[in-house]
Structure 1
Amino acid sequence: MKKLITLLHGFCMALADSVPGVSGGTIAFLMGFYDNFIGSLNALISGSKQERIQAVKYLIKLGIGWVIGFCSSVLVLANVFESHIYRVSSLFIGFIIFAIPVVIYEEKKVLKDRWKMSFFVLIGMAFVVAITYANTFVGGGKDLSNPDIGMYIYAFFVGAVAICAMVLPGISGSTLLLIFGLYIPIINGIHDLLHLNFHMLPILIVFGLGVITGIISIIKLIQNALTKHRGATVYLIIGMMLGSLYSVFMGPTTLENPQPAMGLHTFSIVFFLIGGVVILGMQGLKMLSDKNSTPANEPKAEVQAK
């Protein structure tokens, strides 16, 4: 059962990682396995031999679920993203809006004790909005069909930055790809690769090397931040989530054929609510898992204390 649950965790993370809105880290946070996920990555990089063996076993199971979820998602997304951009964006908005109060609820104690650090919310918002505005100003999506050396460097850098966001429970790595204009090209490249079309393989390899570099560089920093400065880090995460709303609204402008930014007349309340149901369902699944993992003979007072 534990193996199946770990596979499901990876699958759910992949669904989040593949779309702008909520990061896989946020899903891990909501489903209650984030500390195990980050701890395993850290052990893989700097742990003892026994810790690395345990980390590899866990991450392989999580990774299998992630690959299944990501490939399934990409095969669908590449076909519907541009043609239904406003509905998909409304779904992403639902993910973010409903995820924020869940994160606040899960971290209510540390946020209450560190309320003076709430200005980190503004820092997180400003960071994401500034990147989004800068990318919109220089001109949306990038063309990876004939990359030069500058584009290879750019793809490497964006891959390193995006993976940092994917493991953080805050801004989505896919949202950053959207901000930097690489979401559609990378998704289409992976889609083509799954259909044995290898024309995008070189740029995808460089992007992947950036991902590996980023995750090696950031894991220790994330673990230290959440351990030693959790209040400030969570406030920063909430700020980035709020800032990513602007990114998603501006997302249509980054398409290969740019569309107007999403407004009230193109916003879909139905897909927004679907996004909310997904997030609340994730939280419900976590609460059920926590309840089932509690020994039946444990006093009720002790269960609530946890």
Structure 2
Amino acid sequence: MPTHARPSDRGPRRAGSVALNVVRGGLMGTAETVPGVSGGTIALMVGVYEDLLTSAGHLLSGLRIAATDGVRGRGLDRAREDLDRVRWDILLPLGVGMAIALVVMSGVMEEVVTEHPFEMNALFFGLVLASLWVPYSLSAAAEPRPRGRSRWSWKDGAAAVAGAVVALVVVGLPAGEVEPTPVVIVVSAFIAVTALVLPGLSGSFLLLTMGLYESTLGAVNDRDLGYLALFALGAVLGLASIVKLLQWLLEHRRRVTLAVLTGVMAGSLRALWPWQDDDRGLQAPSEDLGTAVAFAAAGFVVVVALIVLERVIVARTASTS
């Protein structure tokens, strides 16, 4: 007969889970301020990507149904079906953590990335490299498994290569410079938030490619509400377009979708290669090789530690439930 935790036992665990999700959101928000690093990568790494994506999908569906049924006088019963399936205990703390990190870290990371681009690229290269294990292992364990084995088939490998090629092309585009008109801001936010949802593609990096990275960070730092409102509009439109598609793919084509995402993350490593010229042309390692290896190793170790910590927390939660 299963034992049930007393209310006094559930409270501390729930508070700890909320605090942990705030920290996870903070890591995701911090990552989004760094060109080349994806908040989706961090979400995969800390084990909340699919819960976050599914909850966002149900939230968007619930809001859409509520708006249409409300206008037609049908009430909110249909909308509640989707809203009740949202993991609010995950979504809200993640959102709080991301918002805090974006406000607090935008100025800090802008300065650090500008003054130490070589070291930061090396650090995040190691971080993303280690993170490849997460979508690969999830994909290899997904059905249908080739001959029952927990590894990729040639089809999975081909899907990953295709994703890597696309990412290589996108992150190899030279940086641009455009005037931040209202239309440009909305469209750029639409594209950038799509990258936020896709592990491996960095919203900040795409903003840098479109020439709006500095102006967007400046708007956050200066609390430019007009700019931020336009950006939020584009972000909402982007989320509504991509979240439901990815949710369906993970539910119905999980294995190949995760294989493609693994490839996209691998291809995005090009953006973080420490030795690049001003036009993002790749160069062979030359000076400061030891420094680059040290920072990359540090990023790699941090990710491994986070993956191990996540598994320990999951195991303990399962044993006490």
Relative to the length of structure 1, the TM-score reads 0.79
What do the CA deviations read for 1:92-133 (whole angstroms, capped 9, x no partner)?
211221111233234322373654132222222222222234
- Displacement of 1:223 in angstroms is 0.5
Write the distance in 2 (CA, Å) between the matches of 1:162 and 1:251: 25
Offset at residue 185 of structure 1 (A): 3.2
Alpha-carbon shift at residue 55 of structure 1 (Å): 3.1
Q: 2:83 aligns with which of 52, 60, 67?
A: 52
Post-superposition shift, 1:269? 1.8
- Distance in 1 between the 2:112 and 2:259 partners? 34
Q: 1:179 to 1:259 in 2, by over 3 A?
A: closer
The answer as to 2:17 corresponding to 1:17 is: no
Residue among 118, 121, 127 paired with 1:89: 121
- 2:210 and 2:36 map into 1 onto residues whose CA distance is 15
Higher mean C-alpha deviation, range 100-109 or range 156-165: 100-109
What is the match of residue 61 of structure 1? 93
Does residue 123 (structure 1) correspond to residue 162 (structure 2)? The answer is yes
Residues 1:168 and 2:201 aligned together: no
**C-alpha spacing 1:81/1:188, structure 2 compared with 1 (3 Å):** farther
C-alpha displacement at 1:247, in angstroms? 2.2
* Residues 27-63 of structure 1 deviation map (CA, whole Å, 9 limit, x = unaligned): 2222222222112111111143164266384322221
The unaligned stretches of length 5 or more in structure 1 are 298-306
* Corresponding position of 2:3: none
Alpha carbons 1:15, 1:69 under 8 Å: kept: yes
Q: What is the aligned partner in structure 2 of residue 224 from structure 1?
A: 248
Query: Which segments of 5 or more consecutive residues in structure 2 lack a partner in the other structure?
Result: 1-15, 63-78, 143-149
Mapped partners of 2:99, 2:138: distance in 1: 28
Q: Which residue in the other structure is 1:244 paired with?
A: 268
The whole-number CA distance in structure 2 between the counterparts of 1:83 and 1:259 is 17
Which amino acid letter does the alignment assign opposite residue 199 of structure 2?
P
1:35 is matched by which residue type in structure 2?
E
- Aligned mate of 2:187, from 157, 160, 173: 157
Given candidates 34, 44, 55, the residue that maps to 2:49 is 34
Q: Please identify, of 118-127 and 183-192, the stretch whose mean Cα deviation from structure 2 is larger.
A: 183-192
* Letter of the structure 2 residue corresponding to residue 13 of structure 1: M
| C-alpha contact (below 8 Å) 1:20/1:92 kept by paired residues | no
Report the count of equivalent residues.
Answer: 279
Asked if structure 1 preserves the Cα contact closer than 8 Å seen for 2:166 and 2:264, the reply is yes
- Percent identity (aligned): 27
Task: State the Cα RMSD in Å.
Answer: 2.8
- Whether 1:108 aligns to 2:132 is no
Q: Which has the larger radius of gyration?
A: 2
Q: CA deviation at 1:261?
A: 5.7
Equivalent pair of 1:100/1:238 in contact (CA under 8 Å) = yes
CA separation of 1:250/1:84 partners in 2, compared to 1, >3 Å: closer, same or farther?
Answer: closer
Alignment match, 1:98: 130
